[in-house]
Structure 1
Amino acid sequence: MRKPVQVAATASALALVLAACSGGDGQDEDAGAADGPVTLDYWAWGTAQKPMVDAWNATHPDIQVKHTDAGGGTDSSAKLVTATRAENAPDVAIVEYNTLPAMIVAGVAADISEHADGLESEFAPGVWNQVTFDGATYGVPQDAGPQALTYNKARFDELGIDVPTTWDDFAAAAEKVHEADPDAYLTTYAPAEFGGFAGYAQQAGAEWWTVDGDAWTVDFDDDASVAVADYWQDLVDRDLVLAEPMLTPEWNAKVNKGEVLSWPAGLWAAGVLYGVAEESAGDWAMAPLPQWTEGEDAVGFQGGSAVVVTSSAEHPEAAAEFARWMSTSDEAAAAQIEQGQYPASLAGQELTLESDPPLLMPKQEDYWEIAAEITKNTIPEISWGPNVNVASSAFQDAMSKAVTDGTPLRDALTATEDVVVADMEKTGFEVTQK
């Protein structure tokens, strides 16, 4: 049974580092000081971003935004650090919640507390806590990514597969799918999906980083995480899941052919799948994520992101205004909802209940009601360490090697922990391992 998660705030252990990162940089605080319209560079991925930016530009002639897709969460964060060091970072960017502490430590995300009046009340406490550290605000939550099961209902019906409610059911369904159609797999075990595995492990009770005062405990190979690794190990070994990277041309083709039948991932999965398999729209549906213990309903976050003003912004006030609008306006929320992204704001979440289902599953009239229920069951107060970027890279390397070499997936967790601890100690954190 999953134990309650009581994770201490990250703020105390980051405080000394943040003190060196959060000071002003002398940039122009007055957007009106520029001659003519202000132009902001905005880095963000996902199908919802372009319509959101287009809606902003149509109604804000004095502050125009240039949108660039700099890659997904891991790629974008790495590029942000490099661009900040080279002094050519964008003014505004999307950063996943789990990488925000690292972006603060790296000096990428600016303290926008002076522009955040009234924002806290727009969000549930657990979401707002993802962007606040040591009493300062470093971003505006844009979307929430509680995990769910997005599945090809047409193929499920064709093969006689019931929607699994437990992970044991999920394994049985994987076997049934592959027996019925040897070319088809229930899902993918993608070794590079750090966020996905983290969500499964959190659901099982894992706490990879905890902090007491200034002392960190790092525990990637705890019993819960090892049990999750062993679960996927069994499915990989029996060739019941597709063990390969996702969102490649090859993987996209298999999704389009109905050979990959589900994706346990954040609620944003509907938008991503629509982008790669638009012709299958109408075949898909969403259900709650399977549970490790029957009768429980907890789920972890996979992704979810905030709009941050970077320390490189020439017009931070204008940038903060844009960040606020992108995360709290009805116009932005409507664009998110259409693409299947679940808004982080309370108003945006209320708006979903009056909205059509995402483009991927236009027939599922109860989509947003199910999403709201899932969100209520999201594990609160999950804290991430100060070097999630290092952990993600180490996890991807170790898991990919394990899948390629046929070595135990559980060993990849230990290898990841070793890299994370060494990096934190090198940076100056006090770290213990269980």
Structure 2
Amino acid sequence: MATQRRSRRFTKTLAITAGLAALGLLSACSGGSTGTDSGFGFPSAEQEDGSTITVWVDASREPIAKAFQEENPDVPISIETYDGNSGGSDTFKTKMALFDQSGEGWPDVVFSTQTNDASWAAKETNGNQAFAAALNKGYLDQSFLDGFTDGALDPMTVDGTVYGLRNDLAPVVLWYNKPLLDQFGYDIPKTWEDYEALSTKLAAEHPGYILGTVGDSFVGPYVYYWGAQAPIFQLDGNTFSSNFDDEHSKKMTDLLDTMVANGTLVQDSVFGSDFVTKYSDKIVAMPGPAWYSGALFQNPDSVNAPAGTIGAADPLYWSGEDEVTGNVGGGVWYASSHSKNLAAVKTFLEFVTSSDTAAKLNAGLPAYDSAASTWLDTQAASGFFAGDFKGSVQTAASSVWGGWGFPSFSPETAYASVVIPALASGKTIADVVPAWQEEILNEAQVQGYDTK
């Protein structure tokens, strides 16, 4: 069977290579930065069948890349780890700009934790072709692309062209501790109003127990403001806007300040050792992305909750308004337009996004429908989660608010530089909203956006 699989992959690679040659793709190019039109929507380098592809991943995706290496021994691959662009570090963009200057060195595939990289990776810069390869102009089969969850590829689509493949969806659900809720006699909150009311009761009746944190740069913008339909990060064409005066924005700012003041929202990072030490057994409920399932609750180095303790409930929403939620990342795989082995890149991309192996290694909900089904069934069958885990995650996945923007910068940097230090010094979020908004707009202007 292994020989047959290798034979099929080899035949498939030959077919792709032959097709590229027929399209004139094998014409020589200078440094891989320019080339003959591939017929796939981007100029390509001269193809070198059997050449090693270099793949950049973060530590969390390294096991998936290694699984590909193990199951595809006939595809030469070099795996390199980097920060994954986490926290809006811009490492991905900065490194590619350096390779553009030198005219060589681009990796063949890059994984990024950010969903906004297509806004720059799809554009020519300083005479250099776009880093990201167009994926839906003939390079990847449409039948394969159609297998992604509806809307999953929207953030990576520019003027109708898909430039990246979503690894996972990261809709926000409400995580809860069933034994603690039962012990305290509390119901699972359904709305943001319920959540705030619960914080008042919890602070008075069981001080020291918590309902979440505001200490991570992704939590404030993505979990709370996005989930509240707060229009603080919007993009219309080349015009960026950030509205903290909208009623949804103001209500969320008030809610967060109230809960920080009564101690039910803490300032520790969920990834910090202090959070694990102080709060692992004191989380009554906490809104957070689907990937908390593996990254926190089933992680031996994190919360590591006992089986049957943690459940996922439907996302919180404002009473009487649309039942929507936020989204925290959902990483993206990008293929390089400079790659000299596009056939191998295609094989890799299909494996890491759609295979059952990759699905089982994912900490969060895969963006590919069939892989998502495998992941959800595996989680449900494990018996680890209380309640209707599968139903709540599916509800959240189809309820992400569409009013959030995807410019070429992250909202995490402004939150980290303005809000987190302010909270640590005893200020409220309301105190620094003007400075926070100004920092966001400044970042937008630096990136070349018109602001209002």
Q: TM-score range with shorter-chain normalisation?
A: 0.7 to 0.9
- 1:411–1:366 distance in 2 versus 1, CA, 3 Å: same
For the pair 1:399 / 2:419, whether they are aligned, the reply is yes
What SS does the aligned partner of 1:204 have?
coil
Q: CA deviation at 1:271?
A: 1.0
User: Is the contact between residue 204 and residue 228 of structure 1 (CA under 8 Å) also seen in structure 2?
Assistant: yes
Q: Distance in 1 between matches of 2:273 and 2:406?
A: 32
Alignment pair present for 1:131 and 2:151 = no
Question: Which residue of structure 1 aligns with residue 72 of structure 2?
Answer: 60
Match of 1:30 in 2: 47
Q: CA deviation at 1:45?
A: 4.3
Q: Does 1:287 align with 2:352?
A: no
1:44 to 52, 58, 79: 58
AA matched with 1:345: Y
Compute the displacement of 1:152 (Å): 2.3
Aligned partner of residue 291 in structure 1, secondary structure: coil
Query: TM-score normalised to the size of structure 2?
Result: 0.77
- Specify whether residues 411 and 105 from structure 1 end up closer, same or farther in structure 2 by C-alpha distance, changes over 3 A only: farther
Q: Give the Cα separation in 2 of the matches to 1:418 and 1:196.
A: 16
TM-score (structure 1 length as normaliser): 0.80
Per mean C-alpha deviation after superposition, the further-off stretch among 93-102 and 122-131 is 93-102
Residue aligning to 1:249 = 273
Paired residues of 1:218 and 1:421 also in contact (CA < 8 A): yes
Aligned to 2:115: 97
1:207 aligned counterpart, secondary structure: coil
Task: Measure the CA separation in 2 of the matches of 1:212 and 1:176.
Answer: 41
The 1:205/1:381 distance shift into structure 2, 3 A limit, reads closer
1:331 paired residue number: 357
Change (3 A) 1:184 1:424: closer
CA contact (8 A) 1:156 1:162 kept: yes
Deviations along 1:196-252, one digit per CA (max 9) or x if unpaired, are 533432333323344555444343553322321111001112223212333111112
Q: Distance in 1 between matches of 2:178 and 2:200?
A: 17
CA 33–332 in structure 1, closer or farther in 2 if over 3 Å, else same: closer
Distance 2:433 2:74 in 1: 50
CA distance in 2, matches of 1:395, 1:345: 31
Which structure has more RCO (C-alpha within 8 Å, separation ≥ 6)? 1
Deviations 1:388-425 (A, max 9, x none): 2xx42122111112202333313434323323333433
Residues 356 and 365, structure 1, Cα contact 8 Å, conserved in 2 = no
Amino acid at match of 1:146: P
Q: CA deviation at 1:109?
A: 4.7
Partner deviation per Cα, 1:277-333 (whole Å, 9 max, x = no partner): 335343211111222215752112222121112467554442343123211223322
Deviates more, 1:65-74 or 1:410-419: 65-74
Matched, 1:74 2:100: no
User: Secondary structure at 1:32's aligned position in 2?
Assistant: coil
Q: How does 1:22-421 map to 2 (within 5 A)?
A: 24-25=33-34, 28=45, 30=47, 32-34=49-51, 38-46=52-60, 49-71=61-83, 73-75=85-87, 77-87=89-99, 90-95=107-112, 96-104=114-122, 109-113=131-135, 114-118=138-142, 119-190=144-215, 192-256=216-280, 258-273=281-296, 274-275=298-299, 276-278=302-304, 280-293=306-319, 296-310=322-336, 313=339, 315-336=341-362, 339=363, 341-352=364-375, 354-357=377-380, 362-364=384-386, 366-380=388-402, 382-388=404-410, 391-421=411-441
Name the stretch that deviates more: 403-412 or 283-292.
403-412
CA 1:212–1:79 in structure 2 vs 1: closer, same or farther (change >3 Å)?
closer
- Which SS does the other structure have where 1:396 is aligned? helix
Q: Which has the higher helix share?
A: 1
Q: Give CA-to-partner distance per residue, 1:12-40, whole Å, 9 cap, x none.
A: xxxxxxxxxxx955674535153xxx243
SS at match of 1:300: coil
Do the aligned residues in 1 keep the contact of 2:56 with 2:109 (CA within 8 Å)? Answer: yes
The amino acid of 1:92's aligned partner reads V
With over 3 angstroms needed to count, the CA separation of the structure-2 counterparts of 1:42 and 1:281, relative to structure 1, is farther
**Using the alignment, how far apart are the partners of 2:433 and 2:124 within structure 1?**
25
Relative to structure 1, the CA distance from residue 358 to residue 308 in structure 2 (aligned partners, 3 Å threshold; closer, same or farther) is: farther
Q: Distance in 1 between matches of 2:437 and 2:124?
A: 21
Check conservation: 2:56, 2:110, Cα contact below 8 A.
yes
Give me the CA root mean square deviation: 3.1
Judge conservation of contact 2:260–2:266 (CA < 8 Å) in 1: yes
Q: Which runs of 5+ in 1 are unaligned?
A: 1-22
Say if 1:89 and 1:312, in contact at 8 Å, map to a contact too: yes
**Equivalent residue in structure 1 for 2:442, among 417, 422, 425:** 422
Q: 1:196 to 1:69 in 2, by over 3 A?
A: farther
Matches of 1:163 and 1:219, distance apart in 2: 31
Give 1:363 shift.
4.5
Residue-pair matches, total: 397
The alpha-carbon deviation at position 64 of structure 1 amounts to 4.5
Q: Which amino acid aligns with 2:75?
A: I
Unaligned runs of 5+ in 2: 1-31, 36-43, 100-104
Q: How far apart are 1:335 and its partner, in Å? A: 2.8
Structure-2 separation of matches of 1:127 and 1:370: 18
- Structure 2 residue aligned with 1:13: none
Identity of aligned residues (%): 21
Identify if the C-alpha distance between structure 1 residues 344 and 43 changes in structure 2 by more than 3 Å, giving closer, same or farther: same
User: For the residues of structure 2 that align with 1:109 and 1:42, how far apart are their CA atoms?
Assistant: 14
Give the drift of 1:41. 2.7
8 Å contact from structure 2 (residues 354, 368) kept in 1: yes
* Structure 1 Cα separation of the partners of residues 202 and 124 of structure 2: 46
1:253, distance to aligned residue in structure 2 (A)? 1.5
Q: Aligned partners of 2:394, 2:449: CA distance in 1, in Å?
A: 38
Deviation at 1:52, TM superposition (A): 2.5
Is the contact made by 2:408 and 2:447 (CA closer than 8 Å) also made in structure 1?
A: no
Letter of the aligned partner of 1:200 in structure 2?
A: Y
